[in-house]
Structure 1
């Protein structure tokens, strides 16, 4: 029986694994504590096997996009869905490597960066050939194959931001839309027709936010009088204006959202608020990469996700919450960068580059509902996940 015990130990070494929180990587350690009996052959792969950049609800399921190649038991080309029980691939996604041939741009890229649900269809934008794709519930199509080419632009070639407002979807990034002149890398889509914006040009649109009839656009460059990196468009007047008062010209927002009537913009390790007339600084972040990647609002509070260990002078790691007067973190933190935050009716979902949520195993995506943890995967929780305190769920309903 000695040979059998050796063989069995080897099998367990493959099936059971631990997360090295300090290094933020999956280690080859074997769990050797009470509760190991909860591990089984289905535990790996648990979900997305790499970075998650974007989350959206579509057909009552959570959809994740990013850099991963597998999810659950499926091969998943940078996009997958979670139905409350299991991770599966979302069709045969047509994403292929994009290899831009522009000065200063080297290498090939393949990732989904943004997701949106619009008029009963799912849209995925990112760095791949075609840069924008549409899922109609049964099959994928590259957007250009359906409605006219969208070619990679003079930077990396990407759709960075999708924003749905009413019966329109706004598309921002670095691309050349077919049939339009200039370097205007911002378009509107009404489900049938593209519309361009006149009187302004952008280089690499990175973030969009809308309140009422005002659309705010952040880009690497904004070619409009008085604007540095942010401009505002009014849908009723069809006029653009600069949004600079009280903000450094070097500030480049990489994420924007509205908290009530206040525009929140994040970038360059800073968080600013725009009240319609003046910018004011809300917070500075430091530690790790010192960056903010995602903004969400819920229940009158502002949620900030990123890669930081100090937020507004406090020891807050990767997720911070603002109630209008004070900042706080979650009692149970994730151990790596948070790149996407999403709320449904009662849960907060986080996606990114982490492996643990508090002491629970949570590779790349987790769910917070304020109660006890279970695993965000098709199989049962490990003893480690079961031992986590109330807060994060890395899995089932």
Structure 2
């Protein structure tokens, strides 16, 4: 899902100003409700199915708190039926519920595994995946632990209702900004010398310039020298120094070729560096291991992976024919995950002096995350065709972690007419064509008309108002009916709300809906309805839209 962060941040500030101007009996109370939305477990049977009889008896309509739950129809299927040598050793290490999607980052925090999947944070606790209060409005790419807190970096600008530009701190209950954050995305995080170090594509950190890398001392951001001239993709501490890797070729005036070391005062090169980008770093057997899309390191032939001992480069065998996207040391064993290519194994283990393939050949998958968690190798894989999976390997046994419920992310849920309504970015719920929105009657999934037809469209907000269901998001047509970013479902068909809500940029979605004081209120990034200007917050009276400027409602 794509967003325009600056405009979205402005709209959210407008929305916050509007809410501040409302009395305690007004819209803020309506958004939260006189009574908090019921938890999903209020309507669950012991076996996890939704108790529609209890739901209907309660007569409730409106939002549901589904934090910590994942919905899926039917029985999950194994990751693959393919037979490979060693299959007799594979077991299910993580039981259901599982996650839909590949992880972009993972870390162990508070003795729990935390992962980012499709921009949402989950933690593995008590044998289940649980959403980690991850109220961020964009993608997360990096995770780290600093002190007792979880640090998240990415492309978002809001975390838990707090303005937090591309980086935020979670203390277990609340989100906090780290100063003014960054002006572009954060892709890597680590700690070094008691400082939190962030790297990525930004050129400003806090109130000052910081080329792609900066350190946080708890109060303010500071640059690391002159920084780097291009994207940083990986960070690691080795032998008392901070190492950075990525697409860059210089640190200030110094040529460093894709990998550099920081000693606390200045940058230094690692011999001649590598001949192409470095995407992963790990420490193994007293050496720094670099993985990436290179064929040489320090003039030494090294296909996709090489070792640095503090003074010189060496190859690790003959490499493995592809570039390494991920590296991990698990109990003294080095593993490498390869990038998308024309073939070869997905995962390799270093058995000096050779790389041993740990899987069969896969031509269309790429490893996105590798992590040591409690002596297990945690792996996430992704396919450009949209397939994805999550796996665990303990050195002899492995298991697949993949869900088959929805084809993409769930972004909203509510109860309407006694049924559970689910909306998001998915095109299928189980084997049902869904068009980003479906209903569950306690037994089966059903589409709401034909839903959204464009693969780039999505629904992110649902509300029940005046006995009808309203959906907001990014779309121009729903159920074959032209409708700009918002529409109404009356139980049998979709209809537009006047001219809808739109903006001057390609993406001007409706992101929030609430029923208040006899009107439907929408919030988002829109700027007009027909010829009438709208400042990101508007109300619908059943016939027309009214602009709600801050303090006017």
**TM exceeds 0.5?**
yes
Query: Mind listing any 5+ residue stretches in structure 1 that lack a counterpart?
Result: 1-12, 24-41, 68-76, 97-110, 355-361, 379-397
- Listed as ranges, the matches of 1:58-73 within 5 Å are 58-67=109-118
Question: Equivalent residue for 1:386?
Answer: none
Q: What SS does structure 2 have at the residue aligned with 1:203?
A: coil
Question: Equivalent residue for 1:139?
Answer: 174
Verify: 1:233 aligned to 2:233, yes or no.
no
Verify: 1:185 aligned to 2:244, yes or no.
no
Is the Cα contact below 8 Å between 2:197 and 2:216 reproduced in 1? yes
Q: Which moved more, 1:215-224 or 1:252-261?
A: 215-224
Verify: 1:345 aligned to 2:374, yes or no.
yes
Verify: 1:47 aligned to 2:98, yes or no.
yes
Q: What SS does structure 2 have at the residue aligned with 1:151?
A: coil
Query: Kindly tell me: are residues 252 and 309 of structure 1, through their superposed partners in 2, closer, same or farther at Cα, counting changes over 3 Å?
Result: closer
Question: Equivalent residue for 1:70?
Answer: none
Report the Cα distance in structure 2 between the residues aligned to 1:296 and 1:165, rounded to whole angstroms.
19
Is the Cα contact below 8 Å between 2:188 and 2:232 reproduced in 1? yes
Is the Cα contact below 8 Å between 1:308 and 1:337 reproduced in 2? yes
Verify: 1:174 aligned to 2:201, yes or no.
yes
Query: Kindly tell me: are residues 352 and 124 of structure 1, through their superposed partners in 2, closer, same or farther at Cα, counting changes over 3 Å?
Result: farther
- Among 261, 270, 285, the alignment partner of 1:260 is 285
- Among 119, 122, 125, the alignment partner of 1:80 is 122
- Among 145, 149, 152, the alignment partner of 2:180 is 149
- Listed as ranges, the matches of 1:268-347 within 5 Å are 268=293, 270-282=304-316, 283-286=318-321, 290-307=322-339, 317-330=345-358, 336-347=365-376
Query: Kindly tell me: are residues 295 and 220 of structure 1, through their superposed partners in 2, closer, same or farther at Cα, counting changes over 3 Å?
Result: same
The alignment's TM-score, normalised by the length of structure 2, stands at 0.48
- Among 142, 149, 165, the alignment partner of 1:114 is 142
Report the Cα distance in structure 2 between the residues aligned to 1:353 and 1:211, rounded to whole angstroms.
29
Report the Cα distance in structure 2 between the residues aligned to 1:207 and 1:177, rounded to whole angstroms.
18
Is the Cα contact below 8 Å between 1:125 and 1:159 reproduced in 2? yes
Report the Cα distance in structure 2 between the residues aligned to 1:85 and 1:160, rounded to whole angstroms.
29
Question: Equivalent residue for 2:459?
Answer: none
Q: Deviations over 1:121-154 (max 9, x none)?
A: 101112223211211101223x3xxx321233xx
Q: Deviations over 1:301-336 (max 9, x none)?
A: 2111233679xxxx9511111133222132688893
Q: 1:371, CA displacement in angstroms? A: 6.4
Report the Cα distance in structure 1 between the residues aligned to 2:101 and 2:113, rounded to whole angstroms.
17
Larger radius of gyration: 2
Q: 1:160, CA displacement in angstroms? A: 0.8
Query: Kindly tell me: are residues 20 and 171 of structure 1, through their superposed partners in 2, closer, same or farther at Cα, counting changes over 3 Å?
Result: closer
- Among 245, 253, 262, the alignment partner of 1:218 is 245
- Listed as ranges, the matches of 1:21-40 within 5 Å are 21=80
- Among 154, 176, 192, the alignment partner of 1:126 is 154
Q: 1:173, CA displacement in angstroms? A: 0.6
Report the Cα distance in structure 2 between the residues aligned to 1:201 and 1:136, rounded to whole angstroms.
31
- Listed as ranges, the matches of 1:6-17 within 5 Å are 15-16=74-75
Report the Cα distance in structure 2 between the residues aligned to 1:309 and 1:260, rounded to whole angstroms.
28
Is the Cα contact below 8 Å between 2:368 and 2:382 reproduced in 1? yes
Aligned pairs, how many?
Answer: 297
Query: Mind listing any 5+ residue stretches in structure 2 that lack a counterpart?
Result: 1-71, 83-94, 158-164, 295-303, 404-553
Query: Kindly tell me: are residues 371 and 19 of structure 1, through their superposed partners in 2, closer, same or farther at Cα, counting changes over 3 Å?
Result: closer
Report the Cα distance in structure 2 between the residues aligned to 1:225 and 1:165, rounded to whole angstroms.
22
